[in-house]
Structure 1
Amino acid sequence: MAIMPMFPLESVLMPGMPLPLRIFEPRYLAMFADIMTGDAEFGVVLIERGTEVGGGDQRFPIGTVAHVRAYYALESSTMAVAGGGRRIEVVRWLDHDTYPLAEVRDLPALEWRPGLADRHRQTERCVRRLLATASEYVDVPWSVDEELADDPVTAAWQLAGIAPIQTIDRYALLGSTSLTQLFDRIEGFCAEAEELIRLTASPFELDD
């Protein structure tokens, strides 16, 4: 168990994914001032109900440790870029006068097996196909030819991070207990998203 500063967000941070932040709330400015004197790490969890600003939100328990890579103090705010690392689960939230603090435990890392290479490539094709389809109708933050990490486990998490799917679906991916389950879920959510695109696109666009 560890005590960790926490940053609840309306998005899910996946291991291996970047997290740009603009920090302006006094509680999080104080949090960053504290963590930058130590290991520069904090936890990120998805907000279940409420908003990022003002507090009083309810939060999902599974999250990701973020490590600050760059930090720029401005006149009225702070810009930071962090990277997603290991997964954690909140055991209990602690009373803290300034910013959210929780007791957390690490979740087991997913293990790679050589026999997963073909499955990994299949899942990657599904994600890139969905990115190509979605980009024809909406702005997507990731390109079809987005580069992935050389490490296959990190690359698998990055596929979960760049797939243009619903936030709650991405949270389900974060809770995967094996790479096989992660691949199954990614492909399932991508198939659902592609079907939704087909249903909402006009017949003229589809025939084109």
Structure 2
Amino acid sequence: MTHSEGHDSQPTARTTLPLFPLHTVALPGVHLPLHIFEPRYRQLTIDLVTEVVPERLFGVAAIRNPTIDEVDELAHVHAVGCAVRLREARRLPDGRFDIVTTGHRRFRLLELDTESAPYLRATVTWLDDEPLPVGSEETVARLADVGRAAHRRYCSVAWQSGGWQSPPQDTEPALLAYLLASDCLLPLADRQELLEERNPLRRLRLAHRLLTREATFVSELRAVPPPQHEIPETLLRPNLN
């Protein structure tokens, strides 16, 4: 059965991706480790490793309601998701996989195909950022500085071990907000808002606001969450096993 969103009027070219609905939000440029145990997603992993799926890309869409166990219609997931690329796959003796993916590019869901493959497939259009305004370099630099400062404040109170790093100085403005926010244990709704924001300046402002808020919460509650994207070095090697 194929379900259609039915209200997309953009002339953007469509493409088809395998779709993995999750109770989390994938962000461009951010690592997302996954433990694969369901048979259909084991098959997806095999198809990614063997490049049956082009470019080792699949889509991740956040499930709207935590009580939903089976996604079979568009209303069950957020309309904007992120394609991720498989970087590493480690097969376990019982057939499960531990994999690492990296967020690649945002998309809007148009149709959901529940029949043509063992796993879900989706028809999507890509979503790109609005262009930065001419002469916005100073604004970008200022927002990057305050965003990095908020990131340092959050990490200094949330990670008592000090085992965190700021994003590289040459990080593109379009990716910086995602990387700053990836170290923070944000609610799904906040991560989804970041994903859907297509204006890089507003996204940096949003990341600053969220990090500042969360740093205050952590300080007041004296709770120390673990790093969300702490991935062993062995899983970040470029070759698939």
How does the TM-score come out when normalised to structure 2?
Answer: 0.69
Corresponding residue number in structure 2 for 1:37:
52
Matched AA of 1:60: H
Aligned positions of 1:56-205 closer than 5 A: 56=71, 58-76=76-94, 77-96=96-115, 98-112=118-132, 115-135=135-155, 137-139=157-159, 143-147=164-168, 150-197=171-218, 199-200=220-221
Corresponding residue number in structure 2 for 1:23:
36
Q: Give the SS at the match of 2:168.
A: coil
Q: Give the SS at the match of 2:77.
A: strand
Corresponding residue number in structure 2 for 1:205:
none
Matched AA of 1:42: F
Is contact 2:197–2:203 with CA below 8 Å preserved after alignment? yes
CA distance in 2: counterparts of 1:88 and 1:142, whole angstroms: 33
CA distance in 2: counterparts of 1:122 and 1:163, whole angstroms: 21
Corresponding residue number in structure 2 for 1:9:
22
CA distance in 1: counterparts of 2:25 and 2:163, whole angstroms: 15
How does the TM-score come out when normalised to structure 1?
Answer: 0.79
Q: Which runs of 5+ in 1 are unaligned?
A: 203-208
Is contact 2:176–2:204 with CA below 8 Å preserved after alignment? no
Say which is worse superposed, 104-113 or 26-35, in terms of deviation: 104-113
More strand by share: 1
Deviation at 1:114, TM superposition (A): 6.5
Which one scores higher on RCO, CA 8 angstroms, separation ≥ 6?
2
How many percent of aligned residue pairs carry the same amino acid?
22
Check 1:107–1:183 CA distance in 2 against 1; reply closer, same or farther (3 A cut).
same
- Superposed CA offset, 1:29-60 (max 9, x none): 112222332321100111211369x5348211
- Superposed CA offset, 1:168-208 (max 9, x none): 11110111121122122222323332443455459xxxxxx
Check 1:91–1:148 CA distance in 2 against 1; reply closer, same or farther (3 A cut).
farther
CA distance in 2: counterparts of 1:75 and 1:116, whole angstroms: 53
1:47 to 60, 63, 66: 63
Deviation at 1:103, TM superposition (A): 1.4
Matched AA of 2:85: H
Check 1:116–1:156 CA distance in 2 against 1; reply closer, same or farther (3 A cut).
farther
Matched residues, number: 201
Q: Which runs of 5+ in 2 are unaligned?
A: 1-13, 224-241
Deviation at 1:20, TM superposition (A): 1.6
Deviation at 1:139, TM superposition (A): 4.5
Root-mean-square deviation over aligned CA pairs: 3.1
Q: Give the SS at the match of 2:79.
A: strand
Matched AA of 1:171: Q
Deviation at 1:9, TM superposition (A): 1.7
Q: Give the SS at the match of 1:2.
A: strand
- Superposed CA offset, 1:78-119 (max 9, x none): 122221111101112222262122111111234345644443
Is contact 1:112–1:152 with CA below 8 Å preserved after alignment? no
